Structure 1
Amino acid sequence: MITLECIKNYGEFIAIEANEPMRTFSSAMHNPGYGHYQYFINRTVDKSYFPQDAHEEMKQFLLSKGFPLDKTVAMMTAVDMKFAFSRFYEEGETSIVLLVTAGLSNAVDVTKSHAYSYKPANGTINIFIFINGYLTDEALIQALCCAIEVKTKVLAERNIIDSNSGTIATGTSTDSVCIASTQKGEFHEYGGSITKLGSFVGKALYETLTMAVDEYIAYTKGISKT
């Protein structure tokens, strides 16, 4: 079972260590796509971070910290890990652990981005969703889609603007999301927006991501209490 105690903050990165591999689907920098992974890393880098080969640099970083490359999913962001938000939610026989960091310096409206040139940036929304339950591949992917809908909803409510187009941003240019399930416990065949699982993910992530975005906004205005 994944709990908040599985989350370890080492300052320059946060690690989530499962007791055994989890069924995983993600857009992470290291080991994206579908697979079974046991270690999950959210790493902060300086805003000037632009190595010649970011993938190779990430591999060397993971190895230096003792994480096996074939068992680890890793993301990066310019957001300091002190601004990471982790929450535990439970509904019936299923529970969820969330880890979220939100940086909005390169907010983008994907419906307008074809018309503009964007400079590389490390402002990123990283979302990790860990589900204590048994999910089909369909449920796993559908629940991930619900998470993306939540992200867009939160940015719209907070009036986050794409500075190039002047329109509401739908995300940032470097967002990553990872969803993983223990494959133990309550069975979920589907994970869409009106299913028990999808609506649960929607509610939990909405609350957690809203807090992260509000904290980012407060920090940029110099009123953060974190």
Structure 2
Amino acid sequence: MSWIERTITEGVLMLRGDRPFLTLSSSLHGGGLGERRFLLNVQVPHGYQSDDPWRDVRERVETLGLPPEETVAMMTAADVEQVVESFAGGEEFELRVYVTAGVGNAARAGVKRKTYPGYRAGTINIIAVFDARLTEAALVNALITITEAKTAVLQDLGITDTQGQPATGTTTDSIILASTQNSVYTGLHQYAGVATELGNSLAVCVYDALKACLLEGGEPDA
């Protein structure tokens, strides 16, 4: 088995490795910092809203027969069959990025807006998987780098919120970061900002994949 395997089944994009990943995620299920083997982007219907999305995504995990404690999963109304993948390699790492996106609920952070008590699907979902060794701090740094690259795409494409202001994201964006911590690599990445080869490669992969996703098939209301 390769260090990463991608499958799409029953409306679920699943990535898995031959060993648990060190993960950092904002996902509904299995979020936070932990060790997970299965990384999921779960498709839900357009217009999906729920007061208990945690239950809904856990049920999808269980339906697939996956161990919940080994799984991290996020939701999207975008078609997971249209996922855009990009990859890069460098000194002491290989990197793969997977993006699904819709910007029907684009928003600008820092502006007062209507909020919602329940979960509304409509999101840019990004999964970045490293075959490398990263510190926990580097994973946090990578989260910042991804967010900056995402916002750069939205700015360059002129995407705005409902008030016509430049969007910084959507209201429900989610990210999964995962690292193999593969001992074959002697180097330990302690940073993942754009000054580093790892961080710059990550930013380029995210930028290219998200831009392609929005230009070639990103769903406005996803």
Q: Indicate whether the TM-score tops 0.5.
A: yes
Find the counterpart in structure 1 of residue 216 from structure 2: 215
CA contact (8 A) 1:106 1:121 kept: no
Q: How many residues align?
A: 214
* TM-score after normalising by structure 1: 0.89
Aligned partners of 1:41 and 1:156: how far apart in 2? 28
**Which is helix-richer, 1 or 2?**
1
CA contact (8 A) 1:106 1:122 kept: no
* TM-score after normalising by structure 2: 0.90
Highest relative contact order (Cα 8 Å, sep 6+), 1 or 2? 2
Structure 1: unaligned runs, 5 residues or longer: 221-226
Indicate yes or no: 2:198 matched with 1:201.
no
Amino acid of the structure 1 residue aligned with 2:198: L
State the secondary structure of the residue aligned to 2:164.
coil
Aligned partners of 1:2 and 1:160: how far apart in 2? 36
State the secondary structure of the residue aligned to 2:195.
coil
Aligned-pair distance for 1:118?
5.0
Aligned-pair distance for 1:215?
2.0
Find the counterpart in structure 2 of residue 172 from structure 1: 170
Aligned partners of 1:89 and 1:143: how far apart in 2? 15
State the secondary structure of the residue aligned to 1:123.
coil
Q: Which runs of 4+ in 1 moved over 4 A?
A: none
Find the counterpart in structure 1 of residue 80 from structure 2: 81
Aligned partners of 1:46 and 1:122: how far apart in 2? 8
Q: Judging changes above 3 Å, is the alpha-carbon distance between structure 1 residues 29 and 12 closer, same or farther for their aligned structure 2 residues?
A: same
Amino acid of the structure 2 residue aligned with 1:91: G
Aligned partners of 1:194 and 1:201: how far apart in 2? 11
Q: In the TM superposition, what whole-angstrom CA distance separates every residue of 1:17-76 from its partner, at most 9, and x where no partner exists?
A: 111111111101111110010001101110232234211121111111111110100011
State the secondary structure of the residue aligned to 2:66.
coil
Find the counterpart in structure 2 of residue 20 from structure 1: 19
Find the counterpart in structure 1 of residue 65 from structure 2: 66
Q: CA RMSD in A?
A: 1.6
Q: In the TM superposition, what whole-angstrom CA distance separates every residue of 1:60-110 from its partner, at most 9, and x where no partner exists?
A: 111111111101000111101122112232223311011110111100001
Aligned partners of 2:25 and 2:131: how far apart in 1? 17
Q: Judging changes above 3 Å, is the alpha-carbon distance between structure 1 residues 191 and 52 closer, same or farther for their aligned structure 2 residues?
A: closer
Amino acid of the structure 1 residue aligned with 2:196: T
